[in-house]
Amino acid sequence: EYLGGGSNLTPYGLLQYDMVYSAALAVDKLDRKGILDKGERIPAETWTKTINSLEFESVSGLVSFDPQGDRLADIQVLFYVPEQNEWRQCGIWSEENKFSLTEDIIWFSNTTEVPDLDVREGFGYWSCHSKEKYFDETGKTILLHTPDGSDVDDIDSSSYLCDEFIDCKNLSDESGECSV
């Protein structure tokens, strides 16, 4: 038995197999034409034309190439299920149909609800309304933007005068270090 052998190949393993098989078919095609018998260097253009002319059914589906050498194929969208140690298809993308969902994705929360992937670092700020320090744990509660003068709790992230004091007139908490 070969190391790593078996029937539980990863999607990337299937593509590697297709790549090696494509190269082998190209070598065979050039050999049948007698090009390999000449003992000369084979130009890259010859290899490219030979590979681009291939079309065959392989472990990952139909293999064929466009004139630029890109593989023409539907792209499977997969997700990994660690409990079963397997990849599962949840969609297919094709040039004609774009994306189509084939199965709901079960996220780490064990639901189909898409998790919040917009993870931001939390930050401390001063509220001029309540005159207290606060900490936004999610980094999303307080919006950093250029103030328009309508609310003193607007935090100007683009430009302000740093004088190392809490200053509600220029809308900044400067009680700490102002090196940022």
pLDDT exceeds 70 at position 180: no
pLDDT given for residue 80 in this prediction: 84
Strand partners, 77: 91
Mean pLDDT of the region 164-169: 49
DSSP code of 42?
P
Residue 174 near residue 162, CB atoms below 8 Å: yes
Residue 163 pLDDT greater than 50, yes or no: no
pTM above 0.95, yes or no: no
The better pLDDT of the pair 62, 46 is held by: 46
pLDDT > 70 fraction of the chain, expressed in percent and rounded: 72
Average pLDDT over residues 166-175: 50
Torsion angle of C-alpha atoms 142, 144, 148, 153, degrees rounded to 10: 40
Q: What is the pLDDT of residues 115-134, one digit of tens each?
A: 888 888 887 777 766 777 88
In sequence order, what are the beta bridge partners of 93? 75, 99
Indicate the pLDDT class of residue 70, thresholds 50, 70 and 90.
confident
Q: Exposed/middle/buried for 37, CB within 10 Å: 0-12, 13-18, 19+?
A: exposed
Question: Model confidence over 84-93: pLDDT tens digits?
Answer: 888 888 998 8
pLDDT of residue 165: 46
